[in-house]
Chains A and B, each alone.
Chain A
Amino acid sequence: MKRIRKDNVYPFLKEMEETRDVYCPQWLNDKDLLFLPLGDGKFDGYIGKTTVSAKSLLFPQTEEIISFGKEIVKKNTDSRNTLAFGIRPCEMKAIEFTDRFMTREGITDPHYQSKREGMISVVVACNEPPSDTCFCLDAGGKPYLDDGFDMQLFDAGDYYIAVSGSKEGDEMLSSGKFEQSDEEDGKRVEDIKKRSLESQVRKPGMKKAIETLKNGKATNEFWENLASRCINCGGCVYVCPTCTCFNVYDLQSSDGYSRYRSWDACLHAGFTMETSGHNPRPTQGSRLARRHEHKLKFDVINYGESGCMGCGRCSDACPVGLGAIEIIEELNNL
């Protein structure tokens, strides 16, 4: 355990930037907080809760996966070394969950995996919920992590208390920007953890909702009624830290063409449309059901845990109030 003064965070990140591409939360157009390169120069130390989760570093909105130049096929993977600074515990848990998906049944996604292997993480625990839509406790998580990070920081006012969780974390702690912690810091961390658990009040009741879905109580009518509000924008999916569906398409390039993949959303009508015109999910209700059953039912079957980490981003993003919180509450009214 060490500590780092807050005014030393930026110098530390500049030091890290010599060997890695550093990403941290920064404002884009003063509207959206996103993980952007440190070089963009807008990092002011604010961590907050990013609009789009850190998944964008491992699974970007659009990426080239193959290029074809005169029928020579080339695979493109991004194996840069990166540092993600300011990841929240829910996002890190989501990344660990996504790791399991991206390597499931012995099939590893090379484009995710290359970025994942190159990334080290500095998690900043939440002293209190960064927004009123946070419900990680209700979702089975915690506002801090017990493991799964390279370094975890606890906000102690003028400085962060830093805990290493890996060999990479140990190496970061050896930077001269970190100072020795004092005897009280261990106790301070325990106090921060205790207070963070107490400060989270949002509890939509995910466990009960999971049971409701398991027992088949949510009818088609239930979903169609809710979906009558859905405007099919896909925003909930794009901001979600565990949503990783993508579309694949080819575009012309200077010396041939390239195959890209881009975020896609199960809420779009065309997502399951077959060439014949047949659509196995023909209604907005069936698509809304898919999104939430995926997290709260099918992920529980496949992974023994829900795919919703309780970060609340979908509830922040949804323009018609159909995020996970609202859906869980509706399920619990059944």
Chain B
Amino acid sequence: MESRESINKDIDLIFKPNLARIERILPQMEGHRLFQLRFVDEDAVNAFAHKPGQFIELTVFGVGEAPISISSPPSRPGIIEICVRKAGSVTGALFELQKGDHVGLRGPFGHGFPLETLKGKDLLLVAGGLGMAPLRSLFQAVLDDRKNYGDIVLMYGARNPDDVLFKYELLGLMNRTDLKYLLSVDVDDEGIWRQYVGVVTGLFKGVQLNSENTFCALCGPPIMYRFVIEELLKRDIPKEQVFVSLERMMKCGVGKCGHCAIGEYYCCTDGPVFRYSDISHIKEAI
């Protein structure tokens, strides 16, 4: 007897990493590095198309695999940038690698920020801590296509002046007239910080938002969402206009292993970017 006919011919690759080379390692703040990666196979370079907010599964050979968000925008193809904090076994081993070494990549996975929906709108982008890593992909994509968006406000809350990710790159944004960039740190023990000191919601003071036309993208620690969303709802911004990027323990990246389930959703396939109105009913979501 023969096997049944396969219902899906193209199932080979979902767990198989594709070889990529570390092209450059750019140190960031302590314990954080920006890795520039490029697939070894040029067909894979050309085939890779992602949306801001999507992630990849990174294999460090011999150690394991971890989900990492993509920090570069789709508008700058060829190189995939990932900003990594040295935290676990895979990221620890990644920090041992040098320029020219190989890693494995799967993806891109999940739903990112919907650029088509955001086009023509005023944007409020709010990042907290390492949440700037995925959000950078979005704001660079938006800035690369600046004419197609309305007013843009970027808020970034870091713990202290040393913990500002992409510090110098972001400081360059201060001079732009087509973007309002607001930066806060929770604490400034040395008194060296010239911007706002306090939690990120403090940055809302003095910012006017047109609730009908403003779409928001948030990425940060769980505690940030609660307070920022409260602030947004106070300003009559509908839940439908708020996009949040959620973090979960994602193992397989393709909605099978179950680790990243959030209610009826899987963070890896239905997210990691969710419309807030889709998940506000799930108690464990935020």
Contacts and interface: CB of A to CB of B under 8 A. Distances in A.
Interface of A: 19-20, 65-66, 68, 71, 73, 75, 79, 81, 101-111, 113, 117-118, 120, 168, 171, 244-250, 252, 256-257, 259, 261, 264, 266, 271-276, 278, 280-281, 286, 290, 293-294, 297-298, 301-302
* Most chain B Cβ neighbours within 10 Å, of A275, A278, A297: A275
23 contacts: A68-B62, A73-B16, A73-B19, A73-B104, A75-B16, A104-B255, A107-B14, A109-B11, A110-B15, A117-B3, A117-B7, A168-B1, A168-B4, A245-B257, A245-B258, A246-B258, A250-B64, A252-B62, A266-B261, A272-B248, A278-B247, A286-B284, A298-B264
Contacts of B61: 68, 71, 257
A118 to B, nearest CB: 5
B31 to A, nearest CB: 12
Contacts of A272: 248-249, 259-260
B172 interface: no
B102 interface: yes
Given A73-B17, A278-B222, A294-B261, A120 B87 contact: no
Interface in B1-46: 1, 3-8, 11-19
B263 A244 contact: no
B165 to A, nearest CB: 15
Nearest to B247: A274
Interface residues of B, number: 47
Dominant SS among interface residues on chain A: mixed
Contacts of B7: 103, 108, 113, 117
B65 interface: yes
Given A244-B258, A273-B249, A171 B1 contact: yes
A89 to B, nearest CB: 20
Interface in B55-78: 61-66
Contact of B249 (A65, A252, A271, A293): A271
B206 interface: no
B88 interface: yes
